[in-house]
Amino acid sequence: MGKVLIVAEHLDGKLNAATAKTVSAAVALTPETIDVVVLAADPAAVAAEAAQIAGVSKVLTVAHPANANALAQVLGPQVAALAKQGYSHVFAPSTTFGKDLTPVVAALLGVSQVSDVMTVEGATTFTRPIYAGNAIVTVEAPAGQTVVATVRTASWPEAARGNRAPVEAVSVDAALPAHTRFVALSADKTDRPDLQSARRVVSGGRGVGSAENFQIIYRLADRLGAAVGASRAAVDAGYVPSDLQVGQTGKIIAPELYIAVGISGAIQHLTGIKDAGTIVAINKDADAPIFEVADIGLVGDLFKLLPELEAAL
């Protein structure tokens, strides 16, 4: 059932776990082949990682100095050129990277994009969330043209490792734009796990009270080896930076363990954690909506309960 091309997401020579989740979605298509393309200045290390993902038929590498940084306007023409070489589908993770890149690829191919694929119902039929995840809609892409889609990584497991797919260097005949170029990257440095790929996440909400009080969230997260998240209310109040926001207008995550501390549970926040494995809620308000979705609920003062949890751990 066609051939799938997956664009690998990577940073600093390391493959993002979102790529393995995207492979799982591609496997659901039962295609003839699943190829992963790595675009980088030096793609060798990332390609070696991608070759280990179960289900991958081949890893293509496109080495070019312009690919040193993930600019959609630079990568897009190269991916589109590869897509024209017999691929029925082009998939990328529904992350900042994928959401930036796939519209460019779709536009260059003259097709519409399918966003946030949750399930695969057929070669051109998929389900995706709408209305902040309150409803799931089935969409069908036109037959006979390349399907360009982003995969909602929170809805798919990581594909297993242990494969030994061949790695092939390819050259792409594509005109790269001169109007877009990399200038600089500004990013926070942290030793904590990445929020979108972490297996454990501790999030704080308005109930934490202040930026200073948020240290209690960081301490519990460090004890658990977890990433730190926050509700929109906590971000809007200035307790933490916006890159920690979880929810409809933040990051959509699916950790094995999600601990919500001082978070009431507005629908916009719940949208971001609906696929989490175990949800633990700690809140002094026994009627908070978060308890309706929590697997484990603890009612009480977080400033008393969290130190007790730390001690127990």
What would the DSSP string read from start to end of 169-180? E-----PPPSS-
Q: How confident is the model at residue 1 (pLDDT cuts 50, 70, 90)?
A: low
Q: Which helix (H) or strand (E) holds 10?
A: strand 10-11
Report pLDDT digits (tens) over 97-154: 999 999 999 999 999 999 999 999 999 999 999 887 778 999 999 989 999 999 998 8
DSSP at 83: H
As a whole number of angstroms, the distance between CA 257 and CA 267 comes to: 19
- 3-state class of 134 per DSSP? coil
CB 103 within 8 A of CB 113: yes
The whole model's pTM is what?
0.83
Contacts of 93 (CB under 8 A, 6+ apart): 9, 16, 18, 19, 21, 22, 150, 151, 153
As a whole number of angstroms, the distance between CA 246 and CA 233 comes to: 10
CB 150 within 8 A of CB 98: yes
CB 133 within 8 A of CB 115: no
Whether pLDDT at 209 is above 80: yes
pLDDT at 276: 92
CB 239 within 8 A of CB 229: no
Q: Locate 308 and state its tokens.
A: 């007790």
pLDDT at 288: 94
Report pLDDT digits (tens) over 157-182: 999 999 999 999 999 989 888 888 88
Identity at 104, one-letter amino acid code:
V
In angstroms, the Cα distances linking 91 to 95, 105, 149, 152, 169 are 12, 10, 5, 11, 20
Q: Which helix (H) or strand (E) holds 281?
A: strand 278-283
Domains within the chain, CATH numbers bracketed: 3-169 (3.40.50.620), 200-312 (3.40.50.1220)
Report pLDDT digits (tens) over 23-38: 999 999 999 999 999 9
As a whole number of angstroms, the distance between CA 89 and CA 83 comes to: 8
- 3-state class of 258 per DSSP? strand
pLDDT at 125: 96
